[in-house]
Structure 1
Amino acid sequence: MSEKYKIQDSRQLYFVSFATVNWIDVFTRRLYNDVFVDSLRYCQQHKGLEIYAWCLMTNHAHLIISSEADNLSHILRDLKRHTAKTLLRALEENQQESRREWMLWMFERAGRRNAHNTKYQFWQQENHPIELHSNELRRQRLHYLHQNPVVAGFVDAPEDFLYSSARNYAGRPGLIEVLFID
């Protein structure tokens, strides 16, 4: 992996994106979205994750994050590992999920192609962290992140999307407490 896409200093702000394997639209049901949100909260409360912005789309997530307390790479690894295990279990147990067999087959197929997995692979391995070293870059990535649901046609205004920090930035209650980028 190139040095360009590595977290060098956990205390700096990073824009991070990661997606499900094959861009599978898992996050179309509140049950699955809430697993992701709960995992973010857990990492905030117990691992030192500092969240400045976030957005969960149907098949990927964007975060602007840092950490004073821990290695940010390890927090991301743990977040992805925990959400993968919990979401796969939820898929296996959800008899009402119309796409259950297909999704599990796709995750298992991806898992067989990766020697690091025992059965399934849920997330793509890369995170592509980009250090946000300037105010202009921070504003640009924050705007991009919050505009994602608008560009996708889910909402007309960023703050109307439930699974995003755009609500916080608009002065509305959000699902996750965030630190603000000036």
Structure 2
Amino acid sequence: MSTKYRFSDNEIPHFVTLSLVEWIDLFSRERYKEIIIDNLNHCIKNKGLIVYAYVIMPNHMHMIVKSGGIQSLAELIRDFKRYTAKILYERLKSDHKESRRGWLMRIIEEEAQKSSSNKKFKVWRHESHPVVLETNAMIEDRLHYIHNNPVRSGICFSAADYKYSSACQYSGEIGPLALSFMD
């Protein structure tokens, strides 16, 4: 395993990327993005996760986060991924409105066969690619990257218009996540 990407100092914000296995576009459906929002809010309220910025794209998400001290950031991300994988898998398994359910389930279950940690299902790729944001320039660069990701992908024309991003909150609107703002 590479040593390039590692969680380090919990006092410093990290840029993380969480990607779905085989880049499946599970988050093209609002009901699955809402599971992510609900669980991020739970982690903020109950586990000490501090979220400064985020975006949920169809097949991955980016965040600028740090730990509030209850758990290490690595543990928080691990637990978030473990729990949301279980909830997403169970929801998908029972979601008869999902036209791609068979295809998505097959990929999630086949990916589990390649995993040493879970033989039943695997929703998230193992890597989180944490990058320590040590300078204001690094923070500003990643904040801009996160907020403009939906625009670059053609999902919306204006970053502030995308519901599943902190861009709207940085523009003064109310968003779905209990966000902390960068100083």
- TM-score under structure 2 normalisation? 0.97
Aligned to 1:168: 169
Aligned to 1:149: 150
5+ residue gaps, structure 2 = none
* Deviation (angstroms), 1:4: 2.9
- 2: CA distance between counterparts of 1:118 and 1:80? 16
- 2: CA distance between counterparts of 1:115 and 1:132? 31
- 1: CA distance between counterparts of 2:34 and 2:4? 32
The number of residues matched between the two structures is 182
8 A Cα contact 2:44 2:178, kept in partner: no
- 1: CA distance between counterparts of 2:93 and 2:11? 37
- 1: CA distance between counterparts of 2:139 and 2:169? 16
Structure 1: 4+ residue segments shifted above 6 A: none
* Deviation (angstroms), 1:30: 1.5
SS of 1:31's partner is helix
Q: Give deviations 1:1-30, integer Å, cap 9, x for gaps.
A: 344311111111000001000000001112
Q: Give deviations 1:105-146, integer Å, cap 9, x for gaps.
A: 001111001121121110000000000000000000000000
Q: Which shows bigger deviation, 76-85 or 114-123? A: 114-123
Aligned to 1:36: 36
- 2: CA distance between counterparts of 1:165 and 1:108? 32
Residue 27 of structure 2 corresponds to residue 27 of structure 1: yes
- TM-score under structure 1 normalisation? 0.97
Aligned to 1:93: 94
Residue identity in the other structure for 2:39:
S
> RMSD between aligned alpha carbons?
0.9
% identical aligned pairs? 39
SS of 2:55's partner is strand
